[in-house]
Structure 1
């Protein structure tokens, strides 16, 4: 087994084709976050991004994308953003995970959204979590019957849509906005998302220039089946809600959904997701992955759950121990909160209170 570590921009067309071919062989690998195009675009903004091309004899049997952080700490590509992580590999091929980490020049590789069927990492998992999904493999109508029977809020959405249309104009939905106005609409959606992060006391991802730049770059990425996907919901000429995500291999992970706060009474988030599911199913999408994390709207809309894992592959070296000391307490606390609904509710209320009273604001409004 040989591991050739390269910058993503150095991958040849043949290697990219092989990577995409390996993805098609295993359903859990058919996610845009594990596509070569995602890794290559991220590398423009995160220069420490690398790929280990795994050879067995003369055959390429795998691709391992990662970020080489200081002190030999290995992270997933686009750390904190990627909702699917792991090794893209041929079926039936296995090797030692620690040996792979060593060959990549790392002391440890940490993951928090490892996809299922990654046998090489079995002994290195420390926790698992549900990732709610919308299964569209049998079409939208079959999916909709299931969630409509289960959720009174979903059953009430047609009434809310009619009210929205009556008060603001005809409702229309765009699955993939590609016109000249798309970049401006994307900025609006990102501003809504930033305001949501701040309002709920979360870290504002879009305050970091590399993330905002990455999203705009991905909007224009349409060279293959992989592409950025900006979905927009309008009432009349007014933008009500939007979502920016990715699309590849018939899978759309939800990434950054947001809506106009003034439209909250119409349940715009649910209307957006349901419209996206209907249009995506008609356009050949088989799965919408809503990502790990407890959210009421996910429980309302999901048809099932995938499983993702977190953990670390560590070598017996001092820098791996240092990385563990820095990250383990925070992760343990987060797992405890995620597993206990009462703790999660308390933590959520505290974060929202912090968002309302953070410095520079009066009653939650910028001073």
Structure 2
């Protein structure tokens, strides 16, 4: 195994084609966050992004995209935003993960959504379910599943959609929108949601806004940004922005106008999105790791992702352990305990209301 290191902009057409071929050769890699286009676009905005190109003899056998931070701390590309992370590699490739870290100039690689089966999995990691909407048998089969397993949610959502139409105007859905104006409406809703729930506003970072803008303008058979919105007349009610491969749509930024909260616009939107996505050839909507009620109601399957770190012995690894691991374990304990999780969530929402009052 030989490794060369490159900035994404240094990759040529041959490397990009090989990356895409490796990705499409294994269903485990069928996620847009593992696509070369995603790393290229983030790399244009983040100087920390690098790609380790892995050779098995004279041929390229794998790619390891990552961000390199001070002290040789490695993180996934766009860490904190992505729901699928890791290497893209040939099935028969033998990887020494510690040698890969060394050749990549890393002391540590930390991850929180590492896809299953990765050579980067250390002996100490936690696994979590990542719920999906499986559309491989079509939208009708999916709604049959909902009727059988989430019948109350499905029927109530349809009833609320009809009520919304009666009380507010005709309900319609647009998929794969290229106009940037609805995108910024969606981002505004998302910012309000972050503040309302006491979370950090991701869109206060200009590079993340620019990332989403660039992704929306990116379209192709193998990779594209996808914006879709539900409208009442000409007024947007709910929407989502994500990215897709040929067959997988990554659920990323869903949000809605709280003026319509009583109609459950998020659920109305997700059903509409699933129908249009299935018609466009999408077989899986990966909703991402996270304990959200709407995901439990809508899922009909799940993947598994891992959280942890891979580290080479040394001072940087020790410092990283002290700064990150105890806090991560404490967070995992809270999330795994329903009482603690509910208490923490309530505290964050209270903080959000107080913050909104001070800034409003």
- Report SS of the residue matched to 1:123: coil
Supply the RMSD in Å over aligned alpha carbons.
1.1
2:195 is the counterpart of 1:198? yes
Q: Which residue of 1 aligns with 2:138?
A: 139
Of 224, 228, 245, 1:231 maps to 228
What residue in structure 1 maps to residue 97 of structure 2? 97
Residue deviations 1:243-291 (CA, integer Å, cap 9, x gap): 0100113100110000000010111000111111111111100000000
Deviation at 1:342, TM superposition (A): 1.6
Q: Could you tell me which residue of structure 1 aligns to residue 249 of structure 2?
A: 252
CA distance in 1, matches of 2:142, 2:94: 36
Residue 297 (str. 1) matches residue 289 (str. 2): no
Number of matched pairs: 359
Tell me the SS of whatever aligns to 1:45. coil
Residue deviations 1:47-79 (CA, integer Å, cap 9, x gap): 110001100111110000000111110000001
| C-alpha distance in structure 1 between counterparts of 2:121 and 2:239, whole Å | 37
Shift of 1:122: 3.6
Q: Does 1:16 align with 2:1?
A: no
How far apart, in 1, do the equivalents of 2:157 and 2:345 lie?
26
Q: Which residue of 2 aligns with 1:278?
A: 275
2:72/2:316 contact within 8 Å kept: yes
Report the alpha carbon displacement of residue 341 of structure 1 after superposing the two structures with TM. Answer: 1.5
Following the alignment from structure 2 to structure 1, what is the Cα–Cα distance between the partners of residues 173 and 187? 18
2:204 corresponds to which of 192, 201, 207: 207
Unaligned runs of 5+ in 2: none
**Does 1:158 find its partner at 2:158?**
yes
In 2, Cα distance between equivalents of 1:125 and 1:186: 40
Query: 1:112-151, aligned counterparts within 5 Å?
Result: 112-118=112-118, 120-151=119-150
Following superposition, the deviation at residue 148 of structure 1 comes to 2.2
1:54 aligns with 2:54: yes
Kept after mapping to 1: 8 A contact 2:56/2:93: no
CA distance in 2, matches of 1:49, 1:255: 21
Give CA-to-partner distance per residue, 1:29-53, whole Å, 9 cap, x none.
Answer: 0100000000000011111100011
Residues 31 and 249, structure 1, Cα contact 8 Å, conserved in 2: no
Deviation at 1:223, TM superposition (A): 4.6
Q: Tell me, yes or no, if the aligned pair for 2:121 and 2:310 is still in contact at 8 Å.
A: no
Q: Secondary structure at the match of 1:352?
A: helix
Hey, what's the Cα distance between the residues in 2 that align with 1:344 and 1:282?
38
Matched, 1:361 2:357: yes
Q: Match for 2:326 among 326, 329, 333?
A: 329
Distance 1:155 1:294 in 2: 23
Instruction: Please name the residue that 1:72 is paired with.
Output: 72
| Aligned partners of 2:174 and 2:228 also within 8 Å | yes
Secondary structure of the equivalent of 1:225? coil
Q: Secondary structure at the match of 1:185?
A: helix
Matched residues in 2 for 1:70 and 1:201: separation? 29
* 8 Å CA contact 1:107, 1:319 repeated in 2: yes
Summarize deviations over 1:59-106 as a string: whole Å, max 9, x none. Answer: 110000000111110000001001100100001212211110000011
Q: Which runs of 5+ in 1 are unaligned?
A: none
Which secondary structure state, in structure 2, belongs to the residue aligned with residue 121 of structure 1?
coil
TM-score (norm 1): 0.96
Return the offset for 1:173: 0.8
Q: Say if 1:133 and 1:303, in contact at 8 Å, map to a contact too.
A: yes
Distance 2:301 2:210 in 1: 33
Q: Which one of the candidate residues 288, 300, 320 is aligned to 2:317?
A: 320
SS in 1 for 2:122: helix
